[in-house]
Amino acid sequence: MHTYCLAVCEDEQVIREEICGLCGEILENAGIPYEITPFSDAEELGRFIETRGEIFDVLILDIELGSKSGMEFAKF
């Protein structure tokens, strides 16, 4: 079975951890293999994708992410 790769990009640590936990719980309960990679800002996520060529199945982006919003990053 395919392992689903999720990226969670949220600048507030408590919210980021909560989102990762909820996603993990949902996927685990459904028996879906997954890997969640957390990011604290869009620049960090962008560098990760560019340097590793990583492709995520799901991106969960905060709307307001400091210098670049989740909406702007989605156009990336």
Q: How far apart are the first and last CA of the chain?
A: 29
**pLDDT tens over the chain, length 76 residues:** 899 999 999 999 999 999 999 999 999 999 999 999 999 988 889 899 989 877 899 999 988 766 666 566 666 6
Q: Give the per-residue pLDDT at 68.
A: 62
DSSP 67: T
Domain ranges across the chain = 12-65
Number of Cβ within a 10 Å radius of residue 51: 8
pLDDT of residue 62: 87
3-state secondary structure 10-59: CCCHHHHHHHHHHHHHHHHHCCCCEEEEEECCHHHHHHHHHHHCCCCCEE
